[in-house]
């Protein structure tokens, strides 16, 4: 079993999930005046929901908890807080996934207290019900087993961070600046349950970038 099970999410799945999420919002009778994306993961779903729900106004706030893929910092923080007058409006706060829920709760409470909308509801593509601290108003998929969902907009970034993590933490690769390509692939598969073939060109680009940064050198 991989140490960190990874599921590669496709663009087609994102469109399908976003459309399904939009239907749930619509069927509930809630009509948002504006949609607020939680940066960065909520950008794409929020833009799709604007299209599917016929909403023109799109804003964003940046609340983050993950310092790197599948590794959280101590607490969620809100970056670049600002105020907007949303009195008399109903808002839909959108993110890709609820894991602990700390980033969403922080963003929701800030918006509620500082933007003063009539109402703010939360919508996400996925809800990890076994670890989340709250249940969002709307979700499309409930996830019961913890998995790192690698969305298409994080694939290159995540792949680099995944490689760096095994370089730091796996005894076979620890502190090595030069590694055998076959060993790197083997350890990567063991840790994450996916392979370079699954990642396509993202794998080679991640290696190229890490070599350029001087993080590692891969030898055939």
CATH of the domain at 48: 3.40.50.2020
Structural domain of 50: 6-150
Q: Please check the confidence at residue 42 and state whether its pLDDT lies above 90.
A: yes
Same domain, 72 and 25: yes
pLDDT at 218 (0 to 100): 94
CB within 8 Å of 134: residues ≥ 6 apart? 98, 101, 104, 105
Q: Please check the confidence at residue 71 and state whether its pLDDT lies above 80.
A: no
Tell me which of 129, 150, 171 is where a domain ends: 150
Same domain, 60 and 99: yes
Same domain, 26 and 77: yes
Same domain, 162 and 145: no
Task: Give the count of domains, the chain.
Answer: 2
φ, ψ for residue 111, nearest 5 deg: -65, -45
Tell me which of 150, 175, 206 is where a domain ends: 150
Same domain, 183 and 83: no
In a domain, 1, yes or no: no
The model carries a pTM of 0.89
In a domain, 143, yes or no: yes
Same domain, 65 and 145: yes
What would the pLDDT profile of 186-200 be if each residue is shown by its tens digit? 999 999 999 999 999
pLDDT at 81 (0 to 100): 87
More confident position, 212 or 79 = 212
């Amino acid at each position: 079993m991989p140490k960190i099970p990874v599921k590669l999410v496709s663009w087609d799945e994102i469109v399908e999930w976003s459309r399904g999420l939009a239907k749930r919002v619509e069927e509930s009778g809630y009509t948002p005046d504006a949609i607020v994306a939680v940066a960065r993961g909520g950008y794409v779903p929020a833009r799709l929901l604007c299209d599917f729900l016929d909403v023109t106004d799109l804003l964003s706030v940046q609340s983050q908890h993950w310092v790197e893929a599948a590794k959280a910092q101590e607490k969620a923080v809100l970056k670049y807080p600002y105020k907007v007058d949303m009195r008399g409006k109903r808002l839909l706060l959108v993110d890709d996934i609820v894991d602990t829920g700390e980033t969403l709760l922080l963003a929701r409470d800030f918006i509620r207290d500082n933007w003063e909308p009539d109402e703010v509801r939360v919508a996400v593509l996925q809800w990890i019900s076994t670890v989340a601290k709250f249940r969002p108003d709307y979700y499309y998929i409930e996830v019961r087993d913890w998995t790192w969902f690698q969305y298409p907009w994080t694939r290159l970034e995540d792949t680099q961070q995944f490689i760096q993590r095994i370089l730091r933490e796996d005894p076979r690769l620890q502190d090595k600046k030069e590694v055998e390509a076959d060993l790197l692939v083997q350890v990567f598969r063991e840790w994450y349950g996916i392979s370079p073939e699954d990642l396509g060109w993202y794998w080679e680009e991640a290696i190229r970038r890490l070599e350029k940064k001087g993080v590692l050198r891969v030898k055939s």
